[in-house]
């Protein structure tokens, strides 16, 4: 890859550093898409030594986590509960157009990863998707509950449940996150009394 091509790709990807997500991190600072993607990748690395994932290519999972939301460099982030099929199609199309400008073999490698991620059939793709969902719930639990929308009280307890079912490790993690959510909601209701 020529230096100019690499710099162009990095410049586009850098948009994620300032593309806000729905969630707040601390105070009044919104989480960026880059914040989210970084931590999803870190979660994958931290699970690398779990016996359950010994046969999974964690490096491939980390690559999926790093690139999974790059389409949002073109569309911005739209929360799951607001995102339509049309929104998803536009994002996917713009992302595919961008990847089509990459030199080979990078283009072929990214296309293969994106196809695998979309199909959600491999253990690697399933793990990336589950971590993507779980990180969002963790981030909301870390944010001030005053920033939650009313629908998020229930969504916090259901989001990611389906995606984690394939893994006993992730089911236990989701249960721990759900307990954290319940405590957070309970503490807020106690303060309101």
The per-residue pLDDT for 63 is: 97
pLDDT for the residue numbered 37: 97
| pLDDT number for residue 190 | 74
- The dihedrals phi and psi of 24, each to the nearest 5 degrees, come to -95, 145
Q: What letter does residue 1 receive in the DSSP assignment?
A: -
> Domains of the chain by range and CATH?
3-192 (1.10.3210.10)
Helix (H) or strand (E) holding 134: helix 123-142
* Residues forming a β-bridge with 32: 20
* Tens of each residue's pLDDT in the chain, 193 residues: 899 999 999 999 999 999 999 888 877 789 999 999 999 999 999 999 999 999 999 999 999 999 999 999 999 999 888 899 999 999 999 999 999 999 999 999 999 999 999 999 999 999 999 999 999 999 999 999 989 999 999 999 999 999 999 999 999 999 999 999 999 999 887 777 6
How far apart CA 167 and CA 144 sit, in angstroms, is: 30
Residues 112 and 135: their CA atoms lie apart, in Å, by 24
Give me the DSSP letters along 51-91: GGGTTS-HHHHHHHHHHTTTTHHHH----TTT--HHHHHHH
**69 contacts: CB under 8 Å, gap ≥ 6:** 16, 33, 36, 37, 77
Bridge partners (DSSP) of residue 8 are none
User: How far is the C-alpha of 191 from the C-alpha of 193, rounded, in Å?
Assistant: 5
Output the pLDDT for position 81: 87
């Amino acid at each position: 890859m020529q230096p100019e091509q690499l710099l162009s790709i990095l410049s586009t990807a850098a948009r994620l550093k300032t593309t806000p997500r729905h969630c707040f991190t601390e105070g009044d600072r919104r989480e960026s898409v880059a914040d989210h993607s970084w931590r999803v990748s870190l979660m994958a690395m931290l699970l690398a030594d779990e016996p359950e994932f010994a046969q999974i290519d964690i490096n491939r999972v980390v690559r999926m986590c790093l690139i999974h939301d790059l389409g949002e460099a073109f569309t911005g982030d739209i929360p799951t509960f607001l995102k339509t099929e049309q929104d998803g199609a536009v994002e996917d199309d713009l992302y595919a157009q961008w990847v089509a400008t990459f030199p080979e073999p990078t283009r072929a490698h990214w296309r293969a990863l994106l196809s695998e991620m979309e199909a959600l059939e491999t253990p690697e793709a399933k793990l990336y998707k589950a971590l993507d969902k779980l990180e969002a719930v963790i981030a909301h639990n870390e944010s001030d509950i005053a920033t939650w929308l009313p629908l998020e009280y229930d969504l916090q307890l259901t989001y990611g449940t389906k995606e984690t079912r394939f893994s006993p490790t992730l089911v236990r993690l989701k249960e721990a996150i759900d307990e954290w959510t319940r405590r957070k909601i309970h503490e807020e209701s106690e303060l309101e009394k």
